[in-house]
Homo-oligomer: A and B are copies of this chain.
Amino acid sequence: MYDIRGLNEECGVFGIFNHPQASELTYIALHSLQHRGQEGAGIVCSNGEFLFGARGMGLLTEALSKEQMMSLDTFPHAIGHVRYATTGGSELSNVQPFLFKSHKGDLGLAHNGNLVNALSIREALEDDGAIFQTSSDSEVLAHLIRKNKSPDKKQRIKTALRQLKGAFAFVILDEDSLTIALDDHGVRPLMLGMVDDAYCVASETCAFTAIGADYIRDIEPGELITLNEQGIEFDHYTDVSKPNLCSMEYIYFARADSEFRSTSTYTIRKSLGQQLAREMDIDADIVIGVPDSSLAAAKGFSEASGVPQEQGLIKNRYVGRTFISKGQEARERAVRMKLSPVRDVVEGKRVIVIDDSIVRGTTSRFIVKALKKAGAKEVHMGVSSPPLKNPCFYGIDVSTHAEIIASAKSTEEIRDEIGADSLTYLSVDAMHDVYYSYGSKGQCDACFTGNYPIEIIDRLLPQEKDLKTKGV
């Protein structure tokens, strides 16, 4: 099917320590994090003596069989991972959690984010004789921990983490402890929860709801948490940290019921829609959100503008790889298979459509066309985020510059290309105002502004990196 969206999250992680249903809860939690990655999934468990793991390609329900889950049944500690789908370079060997066996002890590792100096570290380690198993940047942490000669396990991990640059939320399991680490900019989300007296950690709080856990708090930039038989130990691997949570988590990635600092992204998205309404002075009969991620922003827009919200676009719930012929006509059909207008809702109406972002413009163009074909008199496009202009090096698979429509075109040129009667983006300031109002202490906005908060050491996009290191 035509990839008519250009944003892909790079994973979700989960961990739990000392719970009799550890693997089952991890499975349920990963299911709720499935929107963060559909390429592969895995679980690594510990029984206090050794680690055991299972992983597979595809959705969780395809990746892990009932037999595999039953084999993990009695292990009280577990970490899990869902991995996003890139084009092509997907292999089982890259599906996490990684499990490294050694006579010195086993190590399980799952990572959300992207390191920006992994290649440099990897080359240095290879020069010293190390052999890497995967083309994943995440593997360097295991090597750095193993190479360290310190007798103190926590010290080995701290020293290793300090060598990493970039975005990372790590969960690391060995026989008798679970270590949780968030990079010093806190680019990716990581949440602490508790279920039946057992601590757990997840990329989003929706995982806590799914397993019936309580949401304790957001893990801080630079924080290092250790869980073992003695209990929980809070620490930091670095003294220097600067919050820079990814703005796209609020705008698009996180599930609407997931919370950040106790506010749901649903509420934040509604506020973004309200702000957009204030910046977009258009007279219209109805406002329509592009399902599902933009319904909240449309709701906020409706509240602030007084224009009634209607369900004017329907999304086909059944997706998957479909086979259709090539060409422009076929591209049109691809979008038609995904989104349909509700004719009697839009016919004769001046319509405002709210979308959370525009990447390549393909979807927007077809939404405008479809609504007009269904009888809309006017179609105005409102985007509840600023123009997306720059690639991400911290863990989001935005397509390259060339594919991002706003990197080369003005708002008016984009409006013209998508055929809308008007096009309004939310301003960067208004976006930050919303985040600030909900307690944010700093957000990464590099994809909008080009201000990368962490220096890019190895200037490689995910797909380029893959080519350099892919094995059998």
A contact residues vs B (CB 8 Å cutoff)? 21, 24, 27-28, 31-32, 34-35, 38, 42, 44, 52-55, 59-62, 64-66, 69-70, 98-104, 122-123, 126-127, 129-133, 135, 142-143, 146-148, 206, 209-212, 255-257, 259, 262-264, 266-267, 292, 295-296, 299, 310-311, 314, 316-318, 320-325, 332-333, 336-337, 340-345, 468-472
The residue in chain B whose Cβ has the minimal distance to the Cβ of A269 is B311
Contact of A99 among B52, B142, B295, B471 (CB under 8 A): B471
The residue in chain B whose Cβ has the minimal distance to the Cβ of A469 is B101
Contact of A28 among B32, B35, B210, B333 (CB under 8 A): B333
Indicate whether A146 sits within 8 Å of B130 (C-beta atoms), given known contacts A337-B31, A345-B264, A472-B53: yes
Indicate whether A332 sits within 8 Å of B212 (C-beta atoms), given known contacts A99-B472, A314-B257, A341-B257: yes
Instruction: List the B side residues contacting A143 at CB < 8 Å.
Output: 129, 131
In the bound assembly, the distance between CA atoms of A386 and B259 in angstroms comes to 37
Contact of A336 among B211, B267, B311, B318 (CB under 8 A): B211
**A103, A211, A341 — which one has the most chain B CB atoms within 10 A of its CB?**
A103
What are 6 A-B contacts with C-beta separation under 8 Å?
A28-B322, A32-B340, A55-B472, A256-B342, A295-B311, A317-B317
Instruction: List the B side residues contacting A470 at CB < 8 Å.
Output: 101
Q: Measured between C-beta atoms, what is the minimum distance from A311 to chain B in Å? A: 6
Q: Is the CB of B266 within 8 A of A322?
A: no
Q: Is the CB of B323 within 8 A of A69?
A: yes
Q: What copy number does this chain have within its complex?
A: 4
Instruction: List the B side residues contacting A343 at CB < 8 Å.
Output: 257, 259, 264
Q: Is the CB of A342 within 8 A of B472?
A: no
In the bound assembly, the distance between CA atoms of A292 and B99 in angstroms comes to 40
Instruction: List the B side residues contacting A212 at CB < 8 Å.
Output: 332-333, 336
In the bound assembly, the distance between CA atoms of A214 and B184 in angstroms comes to 57
Q: Is the CB of A324 within 8 A of B256?
A: no
Q: Measured between C-beta atoms, what is the minimum distance from A94 to chain B in Å? A: 12
Q: Is the CB of B337 within 8 A of A210?
A: yes
Q: Measured between C-beta atoms, what is the minimum distance from A210 to chain B in Å? A: 5
The residue in chain B whose Cβ has the minimal distance to the Cβ of A127 is B104
Instruction: List the B side residues contacting A62 at CB < 8 Å.
Output: 320
Contact of A131 among B27, B52, B100, B340 (CB under 8 A): B100
Indicate whether A103 sits within 8 Å of B130 (C-beta atoms), given known contacts A61-B321, A209-B341, A257-B340: no
The residue in chain B whose Cβ has the minimal distance to the Cβ of A42 is B472
In the bound assembly, the distance between CA atoms of A104 and B468 in angstroms comes to 11
**A62, A64, A212 — which one has the most chain B CB atoms within 10 A of its CB?**
A212
Instruction: List the B side residues contacting A336 at CB < 8 Å.
Output: 28, 209-212
Q: Is the CB of B24 within 8 A of A344?
A: no
Indicate whether A133 sits within 8 Å of B130 (C-beta atoms), given known contacts A206-B340, A257-B342: no
Indicate whether A35 sits within 8 Å of B318 (C-beta atoms), given known contacts A212-B336, A266-B311: yes
Contact of A262 among B296, B317, B332, B344 (CB under 8 A): B344
Q: Is the CB of B316 within 8 A of A31?
A: yes
Q: Is the CB of B59 within 8 A of A318?
A: yes
Instruction: List the B side residues contacting A325 at CB < 8 Å.
Output: 21, 24
Contacts A34-B318, A129-B147, A206-B314 supplied; 14 other A-B pairs, CB < 8 Å: A54-B472, A99-B472, A101-B132, A102-B132, A103-B468, A104-B126, A131-B143, A209-B341, A210-B340, A212-B332, A255-B314, A266-B311, A266-B342, A267-B342
